[in-house]
């Protein structure tokens, strides 16, 4: 399965660890950024991730931001995409495409 993973600056560290875990499970990763903890705008990454799933570049997506709600709202605006905000065991918010 090919999984697109993206985050804003608040989710960068979690995204980096998650990528290693998902790769160890045998899945292909499309990392759409961000690539540092430097402040960025979450909508840029939410839209990019949702569009990757909508056009078939990835089977599913995981989008990470401070609360999960921002990524959820952005991704749900893309035709054919439906998301849900999920909480993982460490209580980091995660929005899954």
Domains of the chain, with CATH numbers?
A: 17-79 (3.40.1400.10)
Q: Is the pLDDT of residue 88 over 90?
A: no
Read off the pLDDT of each residue in 39-47 and give the average, rounded to a whole number. 97
Is 65 noted as a catalytic residue in this protein? Answer: yes
Angle between helices 42-54 and 69-76 (to 10 degrees): 50
Q: How far apart are CA 43 and CA 2, in angstroms?
A: 22
Please tell me the pTM assigned to this model. Answer: 0.86
67 neighbors 93 (Cβ within 8 angstroms) = yes
Helix/strand/coil for 3: strand
State the pLDDT confidence band at 96, using cuts at 50, 70 and 90: low
Strands 2-7 and 60-64: parallel
- Which one is catalytic: 65, 74, 78, 94? 65
State the pLDDT confidence band at 35, using cuts at 50, 70 and 90: very high
Strands 28-31 and 2-7: parallel
């Amino acid at each position: 399965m090919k999984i697109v993973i993206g985050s804003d600056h608040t989710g960068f560290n979690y995204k980096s660890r998650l990528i290693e875990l998902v790769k160890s499970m045998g899945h292909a990763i499309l990392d759409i950024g961000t690539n540092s903890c430097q402040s960025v705008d979450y909508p840029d990454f939410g839209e990019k991730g949702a569009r990757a799933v909508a056009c078939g570049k990835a089977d599913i997506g995981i989008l990470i931001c401070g609360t999960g709600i921002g990524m959820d709202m952005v991704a749900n605006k893309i035709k054919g995409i439906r998301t849900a905000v999920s909480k993982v065991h460490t209580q980091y918010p995660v929005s899954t495409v």
